[in-house]
Amino acid sequence: MTGILFLEQLLNGLGFGLMLFLLAAGLTLVFGIMDVLNLAHGSLFMSGAYVAAQAHQQSGSFVAAIALAVLVTVVVAALLEVLLMRQLYKRDHLAQVLATFGVILVADDIVKMIWGPSPVMAPTPAALSGPIEIIDGLPYPAYRLVILGAGVLVALALYLLVNHTRVGMRVRAGASDRPMAELMGVHVGRIFNGVFLLGAALAALAGALMGPIVAVQVGMGEQILIPALVVLVIGGIGSVRGAFVAALLVGLVDTIGRAFLPMLLRATLPPATAADLGPLFAEVAMYALMVVVLIFRPSGLFSARA
Amino acid sequence: MKARFVLPLVLLVALAAFPLVAPLFGMEFYIGFVRRVLIMALAAASLNFILGFGGMVALGHAGFIGVGAYTVVAFADAGVMSAWVLWPMAALVAGLVAALIGTVALRTRGVYFIMTTLAFAQMLYFIAVSLRKYGGDDGYTLPARPELGLGIDLANESTFYWVVLVLVALALGWMHRATRSRFGHALMGIRDNETRMRALGYAVFRIQLVAFAIAGAVAGLAGALLAGGNGFISPGAMHWTQSATLVVMVVIGGLGRSWGGPVGAAVWLLLEEVLKQYSEYWHLPLGLLLIAVALWAPKGLAALSRKKKAVAA
């Protein structure tokens, strides 16, 4: 019984972790290459979720909806890059925090104007709405399996792109030592544009995939942004491998903490205390993990600049 | 009288007269609003102390406001309503929490410092959410205003306003003096060149930690006043967007300018109040303003006036 429950939570944690990875991969590369802290990354996630929900409802095709969500978000990100991000490259982190926090405020209001203040319904594709029995006695929602599969595929593709192509080599060079890469003839500025748009596409994909299992509402970007930043910091800035490891770690710690910490506490503490502390420990787990990692490795697990 | 005392004094007199003048124009409602501005001015000034003067980009300052407010809640829930206990304890507890957090966070630099302070503030936020005894997510309604004794009735809006004004003015004056002291100059020295200050023999970590704890304590006092004034506090006041808003206030007002925090808080809250009356989409113009400030006035509004002076000189 507990074994099955554990397996189920393990899969949930991996799914959440993979989605966090899609968000953090873009963040970490943008940060690693251009030293730009983009708080509005969560807004791109929100854009993906809203466009996909609307397109899916109207067209009935989930795949087309995802494609459209990615396309629209990339166009928005291109506008954002040309109009704002370019001015922020040479500025300090504080100016970047300020400006991209401004983008969050603007994005939230624009979404509210288009879709209204209440949450939007993002349907699960009909073919995937039922459960699948993975092993005996463990029915698991088919849609969550799709998320897992998509996450693994994208992570693998990204790994191949970053580690085994010439473009990826240039990206890594830019992330670990930008001036040196430029002296060696890498067009870091142009690479960055590509990376920024790729990050936006991944964020939109995560938003579109997560839509049916979370609430599609204004503010969802701010909510997911903080865990994504935690992943970025734990993994080490500029490292896709670090982001991957940290994302799975955070996803598992968060999901398993939520499921099992309350249970563990109930076994050892009086019920009232356990009921108070359980949710608290579960929520705090990922932040505690980050603080512990930073105490022992002040620049994250796999910093590209180490 | 020296010229630099004139403007603050005029402002102080104007603010003190406000509760007497407001009813003549039917603006009693705004007594509470100006009180809130005063309290947020104090909170923003405390953040400016470490952010502007200390160069520490802390993205978790709303957490200390929350600690102060929830300290008041804890005492009020236990039946203690004396302001002489509530306010000093709120500052003390928030200062201690800040000292603890600073001990860990100040070992990191740059974006890691931003993220560590944010992480700790998130922990404080979730602690507040999990305190079911004090309402959890829904927040806590205080039974009454704190009691000051001495024949001063804080339940009266104007009286409470004046007490807040005196406290805020004293705290702002004290922090202003601190920035002009030896300690303040050492703090700014660390901001400008940490290595050199270390080489000169300054205890960099200790100076930063003391500044961080002071800022936390003042923010805690602001939280206590906020909770006392509104009669209500919820974890929402500690959400990370609140911390970001405080940073925004400081940058808009002017980083490391003695009036930066108060100017920023006043401008931001006034704009918010005015825009809310015209449109339900009041975040959008504020967001555009932020982007504009970040791009074209990175030193804040307080710096604009100084720039003019420099040109004239």
C-alpha to C-alpha distance for A217 and A231, rounded to whole angstroms: 23
Query: For the residues of B232-254, what is the DSSP string, one character each?
Result: EE-GGGGSHHHHHHHHHHHHHH-
Is a pLDDT exceeding 90 seen at residue B62?
yes
Domains of chain A: 2-120+143-296 (1.10.3470)
Per DSSP, chain A holds a count of helices (H) and strands (E) of 12, 2
Domains of chain B: 3-305 (1.10.3470)
Is a pLDDT exceeding 80 seen at residue A50?
yes
Q: How far is B252 from chain A (nearest CA, A)?
A: 9
Mean pLDDT of chain A: 86
**Cβ proximity of B73 and B227 under 8 Å:** yes
Q: Which segments within chain A are labelled E, that is strand?
A: 131-135, 138-141
Beta carbon pairs, A and B, within 8 Å:
124
Q: How confident is the model at residue B5 (pLDDT cuts 50, 70, 90)?
A: confident
Question: What pLDDT is stored for residue B302 in this prediction?
Answer: 63
Q: Which residues of B touch A288 (CB under 8 A)?
A: 123
C-alpha to C-alpha distance for B122 and A195, rounded to whole angstroms: 30
**Cβ proximity of B231 and B36 under 8 Å:** no
Nearest to A105 among B122, B123, B287 (CB): B287
Q: Which segments within A109-210 are labelled E, that is strand?
A: 131-135, 138-141
Is a pLDDT exceeding 70 seen at residue A152?
yes
Residue of A210, A190, A238 whose CA lies nearest to A33: A238
Q: Which residues of B touch A99 (CB under 8 A)?
A: 290-291, 294-295
Give Cβ neighbours of residue A45 (< 8 Å, ≥ 6 apart): A23, A203, A204, A206, A207, A210, A220, A221, A224, A225
Residue with the larger pLDDT of the pair B177 and A176: B177
Q: How far is B149 from chain A (nearest CA, A)?
A: 37
pTM over 0.90: no
At A188-219, the pLDDT tens digits run 778 888 889 999 999 999 999 998 888 888 98
Question: What pLDDT is stored for residue B2 in this prediction?
Answer: 64
B275 to chain A, any CB pair closer than 8 A? The answer is no
Q: How confident is the model at residue B282 (pLDDT cuts 50, 70, 90)?
A: confident
Count CA atoms within 13 Å of residue A263 on its CB side: 8
Is a pLDDT exceeding 80 seen at residue B153?
no
A91: left (phi over 0), alpha (psi -120 to 50) or beta: beta
B280 to chain A: closest CA residue: A109
Q: How far is A146 from chain B (nearest CA, A)?
A: 31
Residue of B134, B118, B90 whose CA lies nearest to B234: B134
Centroid of chain to Cα B191: 20
**Cβ proximity of A26 and A203 under 8 Å:** yes
Question: What pLDDT is stored for residue A239 in this prediction?
Answer: 83
